[in-house]
Amino acid sequence: MMKKRSTASLPGFRITMGYTLFYLSLIVLIPLAALFLKAATMDGAEFYATITSKRVLAAYRLTFGASFIAACINTVFGAVVAWSIVRYRFVGRQLLDAIIDLPFAMPTAVSGIALMAIYGPNGLIGKHLIPYGIKTAISPLGIVIALTFIGLPFVVRTLQPALEELDGEAEQAAASLGASRWQTFWRIIVPSLLPSLLTGFTLAFARALGEYGSVVFVAGNLPMKTEIASLLIISKLDDADVPGASAIAAVMLVATLLILLSVQGIQWWSQRRTGRA
């Protein structure tokens, strides 16, 4: 293994690295630092009281829980969608491929209104489910649906290149060694896709944590029940409680960062283990 990348034929490590640091500082790090500074205007006890109040804890649970469930759903079904687009040739494949990107491109408020029209209490699907006691809006389920909607393209777009590069000969080799299709799928295909699945999951999860626009339409925003963390932050700001909003945001930020870092760590470890790093 190489310890250092070979010297590129184009010079410019200093200038690109310098620009990277400057850019990251300006766009990402300084605003985030400001957030912590704002939160730090509270004293310790006050800070602790804010982030452990029942309403805030419920919002955290809902945000992380719904995001996690939505990311899991997307990982499974996004993988199926990516599989059919890459593996099969059918009429309308390119149209389907283009539709995948819609949740990326649409203003999230538009997504929210669209989802409400379908899953709301008077929506096309929603109204038929109400008699069975299934509320697809103004409920945590509605939030999961919205987060699934906006997270789908992340999983599909991450998996597509990995599926295209999948070694068809490895599958044939497995078959020639006596593996059934099921064994080939679980022992050969899934492990080869695992790094991309994990990346797709992480992106969908991270996206869901930060989602605001579509959720506020379908959630109903009932405190303790269907109020997500971003909404709580907004309402704190409306009450001119900037330090309180910053405190909630700072906790979200740290938690998200830890999750992203640990997923990155798992990726790094597995690639190193198999000599692919």
Partner 1 sequence: MSIEIQNISKSFGSFSALKNISIKIENGELISLLGPSGSGKTTLLRVIAGMESPDPNPDSHVLFFGEDVANKPVGDRKVGFVFQHYALFKHMSVFENIAFGLRVRPRSQRPSENAIRDKVHSLLSLIQLEGFGTRFPKQLSGGQRQRVALARALAIEPQVLLLDEPFGALDAKVRKGLRDWLRGLHNELNTTTILVTHDQEEALEVSDRVVVMNQAKIEQVGAPDDVFHHPASEFVIDFLGNVNVFHGRVNQGQAVLENIQVGASDISIPAGEKANVYVRPNDISIDRVPTGKSSIAAKVTRINRAGVHAKITLMLHNQEEIRVDITMEHLLELNLQLEDLVFVHPNKARVFVPDYTI
Give the footprint of partner 1 on residues 214-273 (CB under 8 A). 273
Binding flag, residue 25, partner 1 (CB under 8 A): no
Binding partner 1 (rule: CB under 8 A), the pick from 187, 239, 254, 257 is 187
Binding flag, residue 65, partner 1 (CB under 8 A): no
Q: Quote the least distance from Cβ 2 to partner 1, whole Å.
A: 13
* Binding residues with partner 1: total (CB under 8 A): 22
Q: Quote the least distance from Cβ 182 to partner 1, whole Å.
A: 10
Separation CA 71–CA 77 (nearest Å): 10
CB 136 within 8 A of CB 123: yes
DSSP state of 7: P
Sort residue 166 into left (φ over 0), alpha (ψ -120 to 50) or beta.
beta
Binding flag, residue 274, partner 1 (CB under 8 A): yes
Binding partner 1 (rule: CB under 8 A), the pick from 81, 85, 146, 174 is 174
Binding flag, residue 162, partner 1 (CB under 8 A): no
Q: Is the dihedral of CA 256, 28, 229, 115 positive or negative?
A: negative
b/e for 163-200, b at 16 or more Cβ within 10 A? Answer: beebeeeebeebeeeebeeeebeeebbeebbebbbbbb
Binding flag, residue 183, partner 1 (CB under 8 A): yes
Binding flag, residue 167, partner 1 (CB under 8 A): yes
Binding flag, residue 177, partner 1 (CB under 8 A): yes
The residue written with tokens 């538009």 in the block is: 110
Binding flag, residue 172, partner 1 (CB under 8 A): yes
Binding flag, residue 170, partner 1 (CB under 8 A): yes
**Which one of 66-74, 127-135, 170-178, 243-251 is the stretch in contact with partner 1 (CB under 8 A)?**
170-178
Binding flag, residue 178, partner 1 (CB under 8 A): yes
Separation CA 195–CA 161 (nearest Å): 12
Binding partner 1 (rule: CB under 8 A), the pick from 173, 224, 242, 254 is 173
Binding partner 1 (rule: CB under 8 A), the pick from 40, 194, 198, 259 is 194
Q: Quote the least distance from Cβ 277 to partner 1, whole Å.
A: 9
Binding flag, residue 118, partner 1 (CB under 8 A): no
Measuring CA to CA, which residue among 111, 61, 107, 81 is closest to residue 200?
81
Give Cα separations from 65 to 70, 140, 200, 228 (angstroms).
Answer: 9, 9, 17, 10
Q: Which is closer to partner 1, CB of 192 or CB of 256?
A: 192
Give Cα separations from 62 to 66, 73, 163 (angstroms).
Answer: 6, 16, 33
Q: How far is CA 24 from the centre of its chain?
A: 21
Residue ranges in contact with partner 1 by CB under 8 A: 167, 169-170, 172-180, 183, 187-188, 191-192, 194, 273-276
